[in-house]
Amino acid sequence: MKIAVIGGGAAGFMAAITAKETHPEASISIFEKTDKVLAKVKVSGGGRCNVTNATFSIAQLIKHYPRGGKQLKKPFNHFFTTDTVNWFESRGVTLKTEADNRMFPKSNSSQTIVDLLLNTAENLNIRISYKSKVSAIIPSENGINLSINGETLVFEKVIIASGGSPKASGLDWLTALGYKIVKPVPSLFTFNMPKNPITALMGLSVPNVITSIKGSKLKQNGPLLITHWGMSGPAILKLSAWGAQDLANLNYNFSVQINWLGINEEELRNQFAGLTASRKLMYKHNPTEIPKRLWHFMLNKLAVSESQIWNELSKKNKNRLVNMLINDEFEVKGKTTFKEEFVSCGGIDLSEINMQTMESKRHKGIYFAGELLNIDGVTGGFNFQAAWTTGYLAGKNSAL
């Protein structure tokens, strides 16, 4: 049996390795259009590779996928987060869990994951062809023909794991086969706030904020990071993922509201109540959990002087401070996506695929895996988990 895997990313390698281990006599080839494989694995998680997430309940795990969560239920019954952990650990790579449930190799280096996948593929005699772009797939009675660099090769099974595409035109070769494509738009991006004074606080992280998009029901919470171009961190990235389609429709011009404390107005006013009789300086006595630099930034923005004491704060300024802490508002103009870690929503419509096997409903012998599918997760290892799961199922079922 000859099986072709299109795409040398996480899903492609998992598919190729699983296919070979399921059918040791099969001939497996990975075709990668660039000159390097596993590029996203290498750079993800700041070079540490966020392999998966320590969420060991399917019902909980699927809540982290803005698109495809419901459809992943059955695949997760076959290959779940626990299987990912066992898969890597049985091959000598131990994973560790961090406080936020993200799982990384104990070595703290993505190279450990890259080396494992490359070495396993090599030991199994899986062929890797670099700079091999598949320009057309032509199913025929004799098998599935692939046009690669002007040459036609024939395979019995083909696994398409070519990754997400920033533009719909990047999927024209699949549209030509009749596949329904959901228009791809970026997911997981940071918010640009050109010339906003808050960017002077770049590098500052606030532990637990609530973010929302003004005029919508979109709301997320978690840490927020102020950058030199605007805002990032899990609270922003999760918001961008769940709002990917809506924010694309707004052309990335919208208002984001920030509750810096993650509490409601009543709780905050109760915290302030004891300070109305205090003779302490507001600049030196910050009763909230936000960092000192942000506290001072807010007081400056409200034109509160450094000599202002708490019990002489006017009612008007107190109300303005309360509003700023729990309902701050920023104009967003544009986004920043990380080229290497680019995640898109959209891709192959899941109605085209048998999610139990990852086989195309349209063409027997063609399978899909990874980010090419209209599946995307929030930040935290969920996108890799979807890649391992769909890659495993595509590999196993193509080799049967």
Give the tens place of pLDDT for each residue, 313-370: 999 999 999 999 999 999 999 999 877 678 999 999 999 999 999 999 999 999 999 9
Tally of CB atoms within 10 A around 396: 20
Q: Please give the mean pLDDT across all residues of the chain.
A: 96
The answer to whether 229 and 267 have CB atoms below 8 angstroms apart is no
Residue 192 pLDDT > 80: yes
Give the tens place of pLDDT for each residue, 51-77: 999 999 999 999 999 999 999 999 999
Q: Which of 112-116, 184-188, 335-339 has the lowest mean pLDDT?
A: 335-339
Assessment of whether the complete model's pTM goes beyond 0.75: yes
| H runs (alpha helix) in the chain | 10-22, 39-47, 58-61, 73-78, 81-89, 110-123, 172-175, 234-242, 244-249, 265-273, 292-301, 315-327, 382-398
Question: Which one, of 182, 180, 181, 178, lies nearest residue 138 by Cα?
Answer: 178
DSSP 40-76: HHHHHHHHT---EE----HHHHGGG-TBTTGGGHHHH
Q: 8 — phi, psi (to 5°)? A: -100, 45
Place of tokens 């001072």: 296
The answer to whether 377 and 62 have CB atoms below 8 angstroms apart is no
φ/ψ region of 97 (left if φ > 0, alpha if ψ in -120 to 50, else beta) reads beta
Give the tens place of pLDDT for each residue, 124-182: 999 999 999 999 999 999 999 999 999 999 999 999 999 999 889 999 999 999 999 99
| Maximum C-alpha span of the chain | 87
Dihedral angle over CA of 388, 390, 393, 396, nearest 10:
-60
Q: What is the arithmetic mean of pLDDT over 256-270?
A: 95
Domain ranges of the chain: 2-186+342-398, 190-336
- Band of pLDDT at residue 274, cut at 50, 70 and 90: confident
Place of tokens 């795409």: 7
225, β-bridge pairs: 205, 232
> Which fold would CATH assign to domain 2-186+342-398?
FAD/NAD(P)-binding domain (3.50.50)
